[in-house]
Amino acid sequence: MDHQDRFDATIAADQRIEPRDWMPEAYRRTLIRQIAQHAHSEIIGMQPEGNWITRAPSLRRKAILLAKVQDEAGHGMYLYAAAETLGVDREELTELLIAGKQKYSSIFNYPTPSYADVGVIGWLVDGAAICNQVPLCRCSYGPYARAMIRICKEESFHQRQGYELLMAMTSGTDAQRAMVQESVNRFWWPSLMMFGPPDDDSPNTAQSMAWNIKRHTNDELRQRFVDMTVPQAAALGVTLPDPGLRWNPERGKHDFTQPDWDEFMAVVKGSGPCNAQRVAHRKRAHDEGAWVREAASAYAAKRAGRAAA
């Protein structure tokens, strides 16, 4: 059996590919692309909510938000580590992000002007992330699949904290309920875009599904998210801003309006409301951290020298 046959047989048997196994170059490249984008999303995704850490309305809310944002940094680290098993370097991936040569999720290019956005991000954005990521725990590439197990457990805590915050706000004053509704109106459409373009316009899905990297198409997961979210919105007493949203008894699913795919493409290409700000902030943090990386390498070199002596 040659390398390719062994790889094909492993995929056909729904088993895992591990870092030392032979893999086709295109499989490696697709994984690096997806895992790097995912890692960058976690790291850039710290910014919209991080914006509220200094202004959280109580010590309890601040502690919860700090923990969530720190978890996102941790997710970025697990994912960069998974990408490194494919032969790339984290430093190199960060440089590509800062140079605008690798993507991160469109959702993080929208602003967070209201504290209700913290709850709505937890509910809708983490909710969408969970829908998309639970199937990735069964991805054919071992290190990515294992990283996703831990990430999904933490994402479900994130989703709960968002929902709990929204429950508190919607049981509060009219002004608080209005804040929640206003935030839902802004985040609903970008949340639907998180799943990627419609299946007919998704160049990567078919091959990624054949390789057992993706387990469902973008449209299947988007539908699952809508069906999951509708009863949660009803329980909160908020309206999802889609006049076309209704239960379809024949399909046993909700019909809904597609988001504005031209807006999605513009955001992905760099013209979203916060793209420039997000990347500039990441670059500043990276530049300011240069001395830490230098000190860590000097320390590691010194220890290696001592061990060799």
Residue 141 gets which letter from DSSP?
B
Q: Does the footprint of ligand FAQ cover residue 222 (CB under 6 A)?
A: no
User: Which segment (181-189, 196-204, 238-246, 251-259) binds ligand FAQ by CB under 6 A?
Assistant: 196-204
Q: Please, what is the Cα angle at 28 between 25 and 34, to 5 degrees?
A: 140
Q: Which is closer to ligand FAQ, CB of 119 or CB of 196?
A: 196
Q: From the CB of 170, what's the least distance to ligand FAQ, in Å?
A: 21
- Provide the β-strand partners of residue 248: 253
User: Which segment (29-37, 50-58, 85-93, 245-253) binds ligand FAQ by CB under 6 A?
Assistant: 29-37
Q: From the CB of 72, what's the least distance to ligand FAQ, in Å?
A: 5
Q: Which is closer to ligand FAQ, CB of 40 or CB of 177?
A: 40
Amino acid (1-letter code) at residue 213: I
Q: Does the footprint of ligand FAQ cover residue 47 (CB under 6 A)?
A: no
Q: Does the footprint of ligand FAQ cover residue 126 (CB under 6 A)?
A: yes
What's the CA gap between 94 and 102, in Å, rounded? Answer: 9
Question: Residues in contact with ligand FAQ, total (CB under 6 A)?
Answer: 30
Q: For the chain, what percentages of helix, strand and coil (3-state, to nearest 5) are there?
A: 70, 5, 25
For 222-252, b where at least 16 C-beta lie within 10 A, e where not — what string?
bbbbbeebeebbeebebebebeebeeeeeee
Give the interface with ligand FAQ as residue ranges (CB under 6 A).
33-34, 37-38, 41-42, 45, 72, 103, 105-106, 121, 125-126, 129, 132-133, 193-197, 202-205, 208, 214, 218, 268
